Each structure stands twice: as C-alpha cells, then as structure tokens.
C-alpha cells in the first residue's frame, strides 16, 4: 500500500521558473512532513520540513504548502537554478519511520 503518492515523476523547468512538486498522504496520524533532495551518488539530504499545525513554511527559495483537510502538501522552488537539478522526495512520519514518495526528478535548464 502506497501511503505517500508523489507527482510528477519528472519535471523540466527553465532557469528562473517555479518548480512545483505535489504529494498526497493517506494516514491522518502522520504529523511530520519533510522534503529531501538527492543528487546522483549521494544520500538524501533534508531540505525543509513542516508540521500540520501550519499551512505554509518558507526557507529561502523553498516553500512547503500544506493542506490538512485535503491530505496534500507541495514543494515550491522559486527562481529555480540549474544547481537545483536533483531528485526530490516528500516523506511523512509519525515517530521515527519516514515513509517516502517515489520521487520527482527535476531538471532546470539554463
């Protein structure tokens, strides 16, 4: 059973554009929603995270929007740069066990 569904699978954005990745979850007990960034040959690295008591969190060019009633959350990357080209994973947890989405491969073209 896929508990966290992520879309799109791949995304191409022009430099300076906005990248948007969406995730939906099923388990209403989840209370922590991180986004991880992974470069080829590296492990995932935490980018930004949110808890369900807020609807939005912004850190620099990265923003998470959270819709508790719809059980959806999304990552927005403003002013996307070629260096942002990577695979992005959303995740959800209650406690220690992270449940990851399948990932979105982002390519930012110059």
Residues that bind other proteins (CB under 8 A): 4, 6, 31-32, 36, 41-46, 49, 89, 91, 93, 95-103
Q: Which is nearer to other proteins, 32 or 57 (CB)?
A: 32
**Which of 23, 7, 12, 34 shows the shortest CA–CA distance to 110?**
12
**Local structure of residue 36 (DSSP, 8 states):** E
Cβ proximity to other proteins: between 36 and 62 the closer is 36
Name the minimum Å distance from CB 38 to other proteins.
8
CB of 79 to other proteins, least distance (A): 25
H or E element at residue 20? strand 19-25
**Min. distance of Cβ 86 from other proteins in angstroms?**
14
Judged by DSSP in three states, 94 sits in coil
Find the shortest distance in angstroms from Cβ 102 to other proteins: 5
What is the residue whose two structure tokens read 């491969």?
Answer: 105
DSSP string, 24-37: EE--TT--BEEEEE
Write out the two tokens for 4: 């966290």
Nearer to other proteins, 17 or 22 (CB): 22
């Amino acid at each position: 059973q896929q508990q966290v569904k992520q879309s799109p699978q791949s995304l191409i954005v022009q430099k300076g554009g906005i990248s948007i990745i969406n995730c939906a979850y099923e388990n209403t007990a989840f209370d922590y929603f991180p986004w991880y960034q992974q470069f080829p040959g590296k492990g995932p690295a935490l980018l930004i995270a949110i808890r369900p008591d807020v609807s939005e969190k912004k850190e620099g060019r990265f923003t998470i929007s959270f819709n508790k009633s719809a059980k959806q959350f999304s990552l927005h990357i403003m002013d996307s740069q070629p260096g942002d080209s990577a695979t992005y994973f959303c995740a959800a947890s209650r406690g220690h066990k992270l449940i990851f989405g399948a990932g979105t491969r982002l390519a930012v073209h110059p």
